[in-house]
Structures are given as C-alpha cells and as structure tokens.
Amino acid sequence: MKIAVVYNRESQAVINLFGTQNREKYGMETIKMIKEGLLSGGHQVKTFEGDKNLIKKLEEFMPTVISGERPGLVFNLSYGIQGRGRYMHVPGMLEMLGVPYVGSGPETHALALDKVVTKMILLQRGLPTPKFTVLDTPDSPVTEDLTYPLIVKPKDEAVSFGLKIVHNEEELREGVKVIYETYHAPTLVEEYIEGREVNVGLLGNNPVQALPAVELVFGEGPQIFTYEDKKNKSGRTVEKVCPANLTEEEAEKIQQLAIETFKALNCYDTARVDFRIDKQGNPYILEVNSMASLGSDGSFVFAAEKIGLSYKDLMNRIIDVTCERYFGADFLVPADEHMQKADVRIFNQLTKKRSAMETELKAWTNISSRTEDPVGLSRIRKKLEERLNKLGLNPLESCTNGRSAWAFETAAGMQGGTLLVVPIDVPGERTGFPIPFRTEQEWLYGEGIASSRGGIVTMLSALNALKEQKLLSKKKVGVLFYSDEGRGMRYSSSMVEKAAKLAAEVIVLQPGFTDGKVVHQRRGTKQFSIIVEGDPIRIGKETKSVDVLNSFIQNAQKLQDFNNRKKKLAVSIQDVRSERYSVLKPHRVYATLSITYIDEKLAVETEKAVRELFKSQSKGMRTHIEKLVERSPFIRRKNNELLEKLTDLSSKWNLPFGTESSLLSSAAGEVPKGTTVVCGFSPASKGLYMPEEALHRSELVQRSLLLALYLNGE
C-alpha cells in the first residue's frame, strides 16, 4: 500500500503567516523511525510536509485507483502550521480529496483541542473530570466555587504549554496574565487533583483496545507533567511505570473510562486519555490527546511495548486498524497466495506495483529514440531485448529482419497464439531539448511517452506479472517490436504481416482513447513528396507565365474538392517550403501531401486525380511526385472474438473499455484479414506526437492488468 507520512516541521508554505503559530513538532528521528517501520511492513512510503503544496504532492504520489484496488493512505502526524484549528487542517484537506488517513477526523480534533468543550462533553456523559471555570482575561471573575491549589493552562493548546499550579489569587492572576499575553487565549482553570497521574493509550476502533495504564512518577518538584519535562529541559527525569501500580479492579475501571472517553469524542484509530487519581483512588479525566505522541519515549509507545508490540509492529498495527475502519474486517484476513486464483494474484501484484511501473516508464521515457536517431534506437532495442530475454522469451529469427523489426516468442511458441506489436521509435524530428518526464494526478508527460513508451511498459508489466506467477512460459505469446513507425513502417511492415500469419490474434500496443477505448478501425495513408520546379522570375517582370509558388498554391486550393467526410477520405498538404535566388521569385517548391482513407479503390482514384492536378501544364515548369508511404487501412471486422473477450473480461473486472475509430494509420493495417486484431491497446494519449505528449496515468495499470488477465486466460 502507498502510505504518505504527513507532518509539520520546517515548512511555512502558506499564503500568509497569520495567527497562532504551531509550537508542536515531531523530531526527524521519529519521522524516520515511522517510515522505516512502515517500509518493513512492505508498504511504499514517502514523507511530506503538511503545507499548501500537499495536495499537488499527493496527486503525484497517489493516482486515482482502479476498481478493486485499495487507495493510498496518509499516516497523519500533522499538528498544522498555524491557527487555532490547526489539528484539523490536514484531515480536512484529506477528506476533501477522498484520501483515507490515520487518526481522528477534523471534528474530533476540534473537540479534543478545546479542553473546555471536552470537559463539557465528559460532564454530559457522566464521566468524571475536575471542577473548572474559564477566565477570558486576567481580570475575569471566578464564577465557580473552586478550591486551591488550581491548575491554569490555555484552553486550546497542547504539550502542556502554559501549564502551572497556582496556590492563591495572586498566583492565579499572574498565571492567567502569562497565558493571555503569550497565547492570546482564554485560560482553563480547574481544581488540582493531588495524587497520581496515569495515561491510557487506545488503539483500534471496533473494538477499541485500551493499552496498559502508564503511571508518571515525577520525583522532586511539581507533581505535574510540564512542557519542560516533555522536552527534557526541566532537569529531572520523569519515570514511566507500566503497568501502573493499580489493583486489577482499578486498572479495568480506568481503562473502561478511557474507552468511553474515546467513544464520546468519536476518536479513531489512536488516542491517549490523561487521568489524575486522588488519594481515595478516584480517577478524574484531565484531557484527551486525539493525536497521541508516537515518539519512542512517549507513554503510548511504552505501553505498546509492554504487550509485545515493537515500534515497527505498532506502526503497522496502526495501519491495519485504519484500513479495517475504511475497508472492512476482511482486509485483515490473511490471504493464502497459493489458494487464490491466478487472476486475483495477478491483480494484486500489478496494483501493488503501480509506483514501480511509473518508475520504469520514466526510465524508458528518458531514453531518446527518434526515428532518425540510430544510436538511440540501438540503445532502446538492446534494452528491450535484454528484458525479453530475462522474461524467458526467445528470438524468432524468421520474423526478424535485424534492421527495423525484431520478434520474440515464449517457450510455448507463438504459433496459433497472441502476437503483441509495439513501436520503439518516436516519430517526428526533434526541434529542441527532450521534454522531461513529469507527473500529474491524471497524466504522465514526456517525450514519446504515449506514442511508444506506454506500450512498451504495458507489455512488459503484463508479461512480468505472468512470469512471477510461473505462467508465462506456458502461454503462446509472441512480441514484435519495430523502429520505423516514423517512416510509415516502410521496412517492417512485411515482418508484421509474416508474424501475424503465424498467430491467431494480434494486439497492437499503440495509444487508445480515454475511458479505456481501444481502436477497431483506422484509416490507411498514402503520403507523397511533390517537387514543382520552374524558371526563376524576376519580381516585377511582366510575364504571362505563372511562377512556381503561385501555381502550387492554386492547385493546393483545389485539393479541398477531393475531401469526402461521408466516405472517410481526406487530402491535405502537410508541409511546404520553397527555394529562390536573391530577389527572384521561388523557382522550386517542396511539399508533402497525404491521403487518408478507408476505401482502397477510392484512394487509388484520388491518387490519380492528385497526380493529374499537379501535372506540369506551363512551359518550363516540371513536377516530380514520389510516393513515400503507403499504409493499408485497418477495417472494422465482423465477429471480432478478441474484442468480445476483452469486453467481457473488462466487465468482469470493472475496468473501463470501449471502441472508437481513428484517423491515424497503425501496424494493425498490416495484419492479414484472416487474423483477428485489436489496436490502440496501450494507455490513452493527449497531445500525441506533440511536445506536451501525455499518457493517461490510471490506464497504465488498467491496460497492463487487462492484458495480463487476457493472456492468462486466452
């Protein structure tokens, strides 16, 4: 499980520093111990400051979950940065975000932090607490009949800030004045209970477990636990005794009172209730710590150790009780991996490795392999070959040309099985520095991340999941990757066709569409280079001849008449450049023209018309037309069993799925008509082939899961 440990320590990243500043901080050593404890439990853990940047950081760390996957969880240690309600800030943010978290909700923290409100609730529930009153200012009258000595403390501070015993009116007013001037808050005044101080930690929810009571032995000086004591600045050592020196009956009574207090304030997961016990053995509830300290020297941790929970065990036990609260009691039932069905094990494996998948995606994305970059292509080819070898796949020489296409197959062979096809080049010329990998909650960005890298990682993740379950070698699976997508598969298309004839079905790992849509139809493409040449013409010269550039523009405008949306035919000029001498008009025009189509016959007729249109008609003007790319369309096929199986499997696992047609050609067009094929199986893209190309983050695990489940059951 992904766990974000959120705390407040150094950061003051807020819009304005305004209001009461937080004085409570966890030490970095404690934060480190908590993180190490959670890591030992097999969790993925990162630490974050609970400031205004927290939402963005959690979005990056915890992407939206898929159905059946448990969301990430926050281990909340945040006391807030500022304000009287600072305990509530991070829990409130997490509730808004829909992120589960350890500990009580904002409403409970509000009650527990306000000691006066806490005492009013306790009295309403019939729970014992010392008599008290509240003084708003140093001059406020004491309206209750209280007996000295008294305790003064801010009504909404923690860690014993401002805590003091007063023995007369003068000391009372002085103590209230200090609190009023230091904390700008009313003062809680309550009768001092002479006797012993005992703490009871609470763990869990239903049922709540009361830990053994811890007694604080103060030795010399005030018989209260001061701020100086807690920060080891008092010069004395406060001894902790656990279990407290109580009779069995007294221990049970104080534990039951702690549980009732926990429930009265609607606490969750952990808390600590502080008591004083008078000389007659009567317990009084002083306050509730809704965020019990998890410092290694704190009484909560001390008590847990007495029942056999090491620090690491305690941290993971806290996670367990939190998950049980959110996800139900079944979450804690240990699963026998060998008794689970293979598809359930595959699901659990892939969803637990979401971070590893994104890390691998980043590594692949950071390797540049543009179509015209032979060094980059060689590097990524070798890395992919190494990965496939480690997965136990063997080279398939008959479908490899060693130049632009390479094929591999499992030990069971590919004959009659499933062929996975994926490009490794990134089409287009680089015009600047590579776009670096970056993460948002819904999208992952980087050069070629959707056009190539998403398909590679989806394929490898699915195959690796099968291998870890010792299933891959038994499956009839082939992999063909190619490096000339940017050249229209000029050299690799024959290898794809040959490999597809061996397989029973083909899955092409190119980008799909959002909402889990794969591609069931793609247009074909014919791409031409057009060069129009003529004699140089001086600017301003009177002549009946049309210059080269104007002639080309006039013809290009006529191309609009060839477009036929109903018949899914489009003709367009993709780029144009010209050459000229000094102040003369252009004498040569270069252009790239593209025809996209579904109907092959109509495309042939259109090609003839285009050639006729640009045919040289003026004296001294010459036209050269060369076909650069010819890619067959991928026509929607009736009774596509592969598509039907994927639809059923997606429905069973509640994964988004659907179909859509695409204008862009792909390797699916090279698959013979007798072979079943689905295209667009890699995660959805945004800004495809553009600098800000992005891949849909959740679909990375969804597509990997669907592919692994399908290959397991095909």
Residue 602: what are its φ and ψ, rounded to 5°?
-65, -35
In the chain the domains, ranked by start, together with CATH numbers, are: 2-101 (3.40.50), 111-327 (3.30.470.20), 349-522+634-713 (3.40.630.10), 524-631 (3.30.70.360)
Q: Give the whole-angstrom CA distance, residue 282 versus residue 182.
A: 34
What string of H, E and C letters represents the secondary structure of 279-327? Answer: CCCCEEEEEEECCCCCCCCCHHHHHHHHCCCCHHHHHHHHHHHHHHHHH
Residues in contact with 38: Cβ distance below 8 Å, sequence separation at least 6, in sequence order: 3, 5, 45, 75, 315, 316, 319
Q: Which of the residue ranges 233-247, 446-460, 654-668 would you say has the lowest mean pLDDT?
A: 233-247
Q: Give the whole-angstrom CA distance, residue 104 versus residue 541.
A: 86
Residue 160: what are its φ and ψ, rounded to 5°?
65, 25
What are 78-100's pLDDT values in tens digits?
998 888 788 999 999 999 988 99
What string of H, E and C letters represents the secondary structure of 58-75? Answer: HHHHCCCCCCCCCCCEEE
What string of H, E and C letters represents the secondary structure of 572-635? Answer: EEEEEEEECCCCECCCEEEEEEEEEECCHHHHHHHHHHHHHHCCCCCCCCEEEEEEEEEECCEC
Q: What is the pLDDT of residue 68?
A: 65
Asked if the model's pLDDT at residue 588 lies above 90, the reply is: yes
184-187 contact pairs (CB < 8 A, 24+): 184/20, 185/20, 185/84, 185/154, 185/155, 185/156, 185/157, 186/116, 186/134, 186/135, 186/136, 186/154, 186/155, 187/134, 187/135, 187/152, 187/153, 187/154, 187/155, 187/162
Residue type, 227: Y
What's the token pair of residue 311? 């620090």
Q: Which is it for strands 73-76 and 2-7: parallel, antiparallel or unpaired?
A: parallel
Residue 30: what are its φ and ψ, rounded to 5°?
-65, -45
What are 122-159's pLDDT values in tens digits?
999 999 999 999 999 999 999 889 999 999 988 887 65
Q: Give the whole-angstrom CA distance, residue 607 versus residue 504.
A: 34
What are 645-657's pLDDT values in tens digits?
999 999 999 899 9
Indicate the pTM of the whole model.
0.72
Beta bridge partners, 270, equal 203
Q: What is the pLDDT of residue 446?
A: 94
Within a 10 A sphere around the Cβ of 539, how many other Cβ atoms? 10
Cis peptide before 207 (omega within 30 of 0): yes
Within a 10 A sphere around the Cβ of 325, how many other Cβ atoms? 17
Asked if the model's pLDDT at residue 359 lies above 80, the reply is: yes
631 and 669 Cβ atoms separated by less than 8 Å: yes
The string over 208-244, giving b where at least 16 C-beta atoms fall within 10 Å of a residue's C-beta and e elsewhere, is bebbbbbbbebeeeebbbbbebbeeebeeebebebbb
Asked if the model's pLDDT at residue 399 lies above 80, the reply is: yes
Confidence band of 387 (pLDDT split at 50, 70, 90)? very high
Q: What is the pLDDT of residue 565?
A: 93
Q: What is the pLDDT of residue 164?
A: 87
Q: What is the pLDDT of residue 699?
A: 94
**Average pLDDT over all residues of the chain:** 91
Q: Give the whole-angstrom CA distance, residue 452 versus residue 687.
A: 13
Q: What is the pLDDT of residue 235?
A: 66
Confidence band of 338 (pLDDT split at 50, 70, 90)? very low
Q: What is the pLDDT of residue 331?
A: 58
More confident residue, 710 or 229: 710
478 and 420 Cβ atoms separated by less than 8 Å: yes
Confidence band of 430 (pLDDT split at 50, 70, 90)? low
Question: What is the pLDDT averaged over residues 318-334?
Answer: 79
Q: Give the whole-angstrom CA distance, residue 510 versus residue 701.
A: 15
What's the token pair of residue 89? 């800030």
